[in-house]
Structure 1
Amino acid sequence: MKVAIFGAGGIGAYLGARLADTGHDVHLVARGDHLAAIRSDGLRVESIAGDTTVDLPATDDPNDIGPVDYVLFTVKSYDTRDAAAALDPLVGPETAVVSFQNGVDNERWIAEEVGEDHVVGGVAYIFSTIQSPGVVAHTGGPARFVYGEFDGTRTDRIETLHDALSESDGIEAVLADVIRVELWEKFAFICAHSGMTAATRKPIGRIRETPDSWVMYRRIIEEVVSVARKKDIELPDETVDDWLEFAHELEPEMHSSLHYDLTHGKRLELDALNASVVRHAEDVGVDVPMNEAITAILRPWADEHAE
């Protein structure tokens, strides 16, 4: 199985390394110092599920790779449109482009470039970041990857991908029945967790201990669920309670990737998260004051680091 990892950061590099360890033909698309380090010293994954080092071909030009069976698309959401426009050299007649990104808009943007038939939805539950050039640290989360065809069919390509991920150490592979529900279900959690840890500059433990903040955390989830249902996406009745229980079990010092980017002067995925909730809510006539508040608080930071 020939796979291109488009965006070999915390999530993409982790997936690429695990698939390579299983024997698949993996190619990385990366850039900058991270690309240079991978080329010279290989890719190192330091993981709570077990460390590994792999020597993989890496490039910043998809033309160097050519058509593949699968593109695992893992760029930050603000790079989706530009990255999707560069996919053409990787996409053959049967290629599946599987998005493992934050937000619920990326697949539509990818489809605008490569066509809906090539796009597969995906959700990643993992806390993994570039620790230093060439080194990715997986520090938390179950490393669970959920994916599925948007029409719900069990195609040969999705079954083959499922087999490959299921056979890979350090990956919990889940083939979804309704991937759109999975996307919005995670969206509800990540908007609360990322938005609150970034806006307060505090870890989840402090948020849980602060009644006003914990109420706001819950209300963010409730608002996203309301928007989803208004869009005829039937999230489970227990979505809010399940996510609060999950958040209760997180390590007290756990933050989020949005908090990490904020505190390290990096570009923020605000427009794919809480600001996206606001846009979708306007489309369907739902009030989302908590998500509006998070968006307003983080907007100056996001705009200052927009490039």
Structure 2
Amino acid sequence: MTSICVFGAGAIGGLMAAKLEMAGTPVTVVARGPHGDALRTKGLTLLSEGQETVTRPRVATDPKEIGPQDYLVLTLKAHSLLPAMAQLKPLIGPNTTIVAAINGVPWWYTYKLGGDFDGRRIESVDPEGKLTADLPPSQVLGSIVYPAADVVEPGVVEHTYGDRFSLGEPDGSRSERATRLSELLIKAGFKAPVRPRIRDELWVKLWGNMAFNPLSALTTATLDRLIAEPGTHAVCRALMVEGQQVAEKLGVKFAIGVDKRIAGGAEVGAHKTSMLQDLERGRPLEIEALLGAVVEMAEWVGVDMPIGRTVLALVRQRAAMR
């Protein structure tokens, strides 16, 4: 039996855990606070497509109790990884596949990248190489998260849209571990393609997040207003063009144009970005993985990002003055 642990079983992690359990794949979850307490006492309730389903994944209070897993799925935000490392270490053995279902530029990004920047540390997301040391990139399987979900109350996850978790090896190979996880996710009702160029897909999602998230935190505007207003639309677009220049210097190929990506964001409607939600709730902001790392890599490849540097400085100060 394949052992799977979802660490940080909030909205996305809870959705994945619930659907896997419903499909007959046992899952262990690690969750904190009132949400974790509710999972232990009442189970995990999933609201999706007009249906309410209660599952009872195993809830670990101490990761040492369950030990190394075949798959460790990380659904934390990037800045939460280092504080969680003491809990993560007992779950990782030499054969554990670390599934990085995390937004933004990940710590493993340059592993097997090829070219001049192969293996170079991104200080913004991996200060002093601490993540690389404890979460070895050789054990990482990349994942791009498309579903949207919310924890509407402790122990209750509402799935609002999306059903795809793209997977990909950093070196582009179609590995047995990627194929096996893809099969399990497909059985659970998700789309789970294994991509040979996972960084291309990573950038299409990051492309919007690097602009929409910080600008929404600075303006408090929902996504529809941010894009509809000509001034903020222009800032979003210019920032995304800067990001595209960085990505292409790193070998990324964009399957769509910038205006189509912005239009995709507009279709989401009156949505508060995750960074704006975190700002309103007094939580740390996901600044470095979404924008700080892009500005850092821009320096590597000789791309000037005046708008990116400006927005980054402003949103860092906004977070500090929260």
Matched, 1:210 2:211: no
Q: Provide the C-alpha distance between the structure 2 equivalents of 1:45 and 1:289, rounded to a whole number of angstroms.
A: 44
Q: Shift of the alpha carbon at 1:219?
A: 1.5
Q: Provide the C-alpha distance between the structure 2 equivalents of 1:299 and 1:121, rounded to a whole number of angstroms.
A: 27
Distance 1:136 1:293, change over 3 A: farther
Q: Shift of the alpha carbon at 1:52?
A: 2.5
Q: Provide the C-alpha distance between the structure 1 equivalents of 2:51 and 2:275, rounded to a whole number of angstroms.
A: 25
Q: What residue ranges of structure 2 are gaps of 5+ in the alignment? A: 110-125
Q: Shift of the alpha carbon at 1:15?
A: 0.8
Matched, 1:235 2:236: no
What corresponds to 1:194 in structure 2?
213
Q: Shift of the alpha carbon at 1:63?
A: 0.8
What corresponds to 1:226 in structure 2?
245
Check conservation: 1:122, 1:147, Cα contact below 8 A: yes
1:126 aligned to 119, 138, 147, which one? 147
Q: Shift of the alpha carbon at 1:85?
A: 5.0
What corresponds to 1:272 in structure 2?
289
Alignment of 1:100-115 (within 5 A): 100-107=101-108, 109=126, 110-115=131-136
Alignment of 1:71-90 (within 5 A): 71-90=72-91
Alignment of 1:148-163 (within 5 A): 148-163=168-183
Amino acid across the alignment from 2:212: H
Check conservation: 1:80, 1:106, Cα contact below 8 A: no
Amino acid across the alignment from 1:206: R
What corresponds to 1:250 in structure 2?
268
In the TM superposition, what whole-angstrom CA distance separates every residue of 1:219-239 from its partner, at most 9, and x where no partner exists?
2221111111222x2222634
Check conservation: 2:103, 2:289, Cα contact below 8 A: yes
In the TM superposition, what whole-angstrom CA distance separates every residue of 1:120-164 from its partner, at most 9, and x where no partner exists?
111101222322221222234x23211111111111111110111
Check conservation: 2:46, 2:53, Cα contact below 8 A: yes
SS at match of 1:129: strand
Distance 1:188 1:144, change over 3 A: same
Check conservation: 1:125, 1:144, Cα contact below 8 A: yes
Q: Shift of the alpha carbon at 1:93?
A: 3.3
1:178 aligned to 177, 191, 197, which one? 197
What corresponds to 2:116 in structure 1?
none
Q: Shift of the alpha carbon at 1:48?
A: 4.2
Amino acid across the alignment from 2:261: W
Check conservation: 1:198, 1:262, Cα contact below 8 A: yes
The structure whose residues are more often strand, as a share, is 1
Q: Provide the C-alpha distance between the structure 1 equivalents of 2:276 and 2:98, rounded to a whole number of angstroms.
A: 28
Instruction: Give the paired residue count.
Output: 301
What corresponds to 1:287 in structure 2?
304
SS at match of 2:165: strand
SS at match of 1:249: helix
Q: Provide the C-alpha distance between the structure 2 equivalents of 1:85 and 1:113, rounded to a whole number of angstroms.
A: 10
Check conservation: 1:70, 1:97, Cα contact below 8 A: yes
Q: RMSD value over aligned CA atoms?
A: 2.0
What corresponds to 2:123 in structure 1?
none
In the TM superposition, what whole-angstrom CA distance separates every residue of 1:234-271 from its partner, at most 9, and x where no partner exists?
222634133123123222x1121111111121111112
Distance 1:107 1:61, change over 3 A: farther
Q: Provide the C-alpha distance between the structure 2 equivalents of 1:49 and 1:145, rounded to a whole number of angstroms.
A: 22
Q: Provide the C-alpha distance between the structure 2 equivalents of 1:301 and 1:258, rounded to a whole number of angstroms.
A: 11
Q: Percent identity?
A: 34
TM-score w.r.t. structure 2 length?
0.86
Amino acid across the alignment from 1:146: S
Matched, 1:117 2:143: no
Q: Provide the C-alpha distance between the structure 2 equivalents of 1:303 and 1:119, rounded to a whole number of angstroms.
A: 32
Q: Shift of the alpha carbon at 1:8?
A: 0.9
Check conservation: 1:185, 1:239, Cα contact below 8 A: no
Check conservation: 1:129, 1:137, Cα contact below 8 A: yes
2:159 aligned to 130, 138, 141, which one? 138
Q: Provide the C-alpha distance between the structure 2 equivalents of 1:83 and 1:49, rounded to a whole number of angstroms.
A: 34
In the TM superposition, what whole-angstrom CA distance separates every residue of 1:7-38 from its partner, at most 9, and x where no partner exists?
11111111111111111120001111111111
Which is worse superposed, 98-107 or 127-136? 127-136
What corresponds to 1:19 in structure 2?
20
Which is worse superposed, 110-119 or 72-81? 110-119
Q: Shift of the alpha carbon at 1:102?
A: 1.2
